[in-house]
């Protein structure tokens, strides 16, 4: 038997094995913690995220737990959720005890049962909130935030998330996401010869505005712009209807290459390297990793002026902001870039420098380590939270 790893153990709980924005942030959290801690990540299943976590130095435990979805947002659904939580709790508690966890890091409010397990196992918990649910009724918002009372520390990823949490009666420390820079940057085209290539990277979801993007691309083509739109991502299980809706909405453009459904890709950088412009037309976006990634890739960005995106994009300085849920406004924002491509490229260069300065991974690693250390060390210095600009 080998020597026992002397590092204190932190268990990181996450609801998905996929590899999108908040999933990639979990990888950065692991990278922040592994130098001083043994990190055990629990996932509901194996998937693209598993290998990325192992490469970052984490151990993986597969343990399915109930995830708070819209399907549970009814009296009967809440009963089902409670029953599923009761079935999962013993295994969760055993995992915390078996690993000798000193701290529990719950990477979202959508798996509140982990906070209950931490309390039962007497393991101090941190909940990292990546949500900003403004559009839900007050009682629902209060119910979503209630389990956070079991967390010793709450970290949020933007002022938008902090505001939503505050309206539900809780406070959180703001730690802006830290995004790794691409291994190499493919410079954008200096002249737009042939079709302009527009990319939307992220889940196919009403929240992400995939349908807004398809409509806006159609409007651009009606105005005489030669433009193609590539949607990079897949749907949540149960949302297959939305992909079908997108296919119907795209119509002939899907058949002639004007709209491409590329599916999930593990690397966002390849998608941005192939694109001229990146769009982030989200209806709901607590932070917006993909906007930062597009900036770091050197691509001009058009984003919806909603929630955390307004903390990343300053209109006319490092990108273009447009009215959310408005295909015509998105088309206008794209035309604004295409009609002054030299200006768009200059703005993209400023954006690359700005994103590296404000949302670099080193700052994120430092602030996150401080937050986790404060869980178990009462004498630890207060977390120095992110500045905005």
Q: What are the extents of the domains in the chain? A: 9-178+360-376, 196-358
120-151 pLDDT tens trace: 999 999 999 988 766 655 555 666 677 888 99
Average pLDDT, the chain: 90
196-358 matches 9-178+360-376 in CATH topology: yes
Specify the length of the chain in residues. Answer: 389
Tens-place pLDDT, residues 314-368: 999 999 999 999 999 999 999 999 999 999 999 999 999 999 999 999 999 999 9
Does pLDDT of 166 surpass 80? Answer: no
Beta strands in the chain (DSSP E): 9-13, 38-43, 59-62, 101-106, 125-129, 153-156, 173-174, 196-201, 227-232, 259-263, 277-280, 301-304, 320-322
Regarding the domain with residue range 9-178+360-376, which homologous superfamily does it belong to in the CATH classification? Glycogen Phosphorylase B; (3.40.50.2000)
Torsional class of 323: left (φ above 0), alpha (ψ -120 to 50), beta (otherwise):
beta
Of residues 26, 96, 20, the one with CA closest to residue 61: 96
Annotate 345-371 with DSSP letters as a single string.
HHHHHHHHHHHHHHS-HHHHHHHHHHH
Written as six digits, the tokens of 273 are 């390297």
Three-state SS at 262: strand
Tokens of 105: 């890091």
Q: pTM for the full model?
A: 0.84
> What topology is assigned to 196-358 in CATH?
Rossmann fold (3.40.50)
Strand order of the β-sheet with 301-304 is: 259-263, 227-232, 196-201, 277-280, 301-304, 320-322
**What's the farthest any 2 CA atoms get from each other in the chain?**
70
Q: What is the pLDDT of residues 204-227, one digit of tens each?
A: 999 999 999 999 999 999 999 999
pLDDT attached to residue 3:
61
Q: Pick the range with the lowest mean pLDDT from 8-17, 62-71, 243-252.
A: 62-71
Q: How far apart are CA 313 and CA 2, in angstroms?
A: 50
């Amino acid at each position: 038997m080998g020597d026992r790893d002397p590092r204190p153990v932190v268990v990181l709980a996450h609801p998905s094995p996929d590899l999108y924005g908040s999933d990639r942030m979990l990888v950065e959290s692991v990278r922040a913690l592994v130098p001083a801690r043994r990190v055990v990540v629990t996932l509901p299943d194996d998937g693209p995220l598993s290998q990325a976590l192992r490469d970052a130095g984490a151990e993986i435990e597969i343990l399915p737990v109930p995830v708070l979805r819209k399907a549970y947002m009814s009296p009967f659904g809440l009963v089902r959720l409670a029953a599923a939580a009761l079935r999962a709790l013993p295994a969760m508690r055993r995992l915390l005890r078996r690993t000798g966890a000193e701290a529990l890091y719950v990477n979202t409010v959508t798996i509140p049962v982990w906070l209950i397990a931490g309390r039962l196992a007497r393991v101090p918990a941190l909940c990292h909130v990546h949500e900003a649910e403004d559009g839900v009724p007050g009682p629902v918002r209060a119910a979503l935030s209630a389990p956070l009372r079991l967390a010793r520390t709450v970290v949020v990823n933007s002022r938008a998330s902090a505001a939503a949490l505050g309206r539900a009666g809780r406070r959180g420390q703001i730690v802006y996401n830290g995004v790794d820079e691409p291994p190499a940057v493919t410079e954008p085209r200096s002249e737009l010869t042939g079709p302009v290539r527009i990319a939307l990277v992220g889940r196919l979801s009403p929240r992400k505005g995939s349908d807004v993007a398809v409509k806006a691309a159609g409007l651009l083509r009606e105005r005489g712009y030669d433009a193609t739109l590539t949607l990079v991502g897949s749907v949540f299980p149960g949302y297959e209807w939305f992909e079908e809706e997108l296919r119907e909405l795209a119509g002939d453009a899907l058949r002639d290459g004007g709209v491409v459904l590329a599916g999930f890709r593990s690397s966002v950088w390849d998608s941005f390297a192939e694109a001229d412009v990146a769009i982030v037309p989200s209806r709901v976006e607590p932070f917006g990793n993909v906007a930062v990634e597009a900036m770091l890739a050197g691509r001009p960005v058009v984003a919806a002026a909603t929630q955390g995106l307004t903390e990343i994009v300053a209109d006319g300085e490092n990108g273009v902001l447009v009215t959310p849920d408005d295909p015509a406004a998105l088309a206008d924002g794209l035309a604004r870039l295409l009609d002054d491509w030299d200006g768009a490229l200059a703005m993209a260069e400023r954006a690359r420098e700005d994103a590296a300065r404000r949302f670099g991974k080193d700052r994120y690693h430092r602030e996150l380590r401080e937050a986790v250390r404060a869980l178990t060390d009462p004498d630890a210095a207060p977390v120095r939270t992110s500045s905005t600009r």
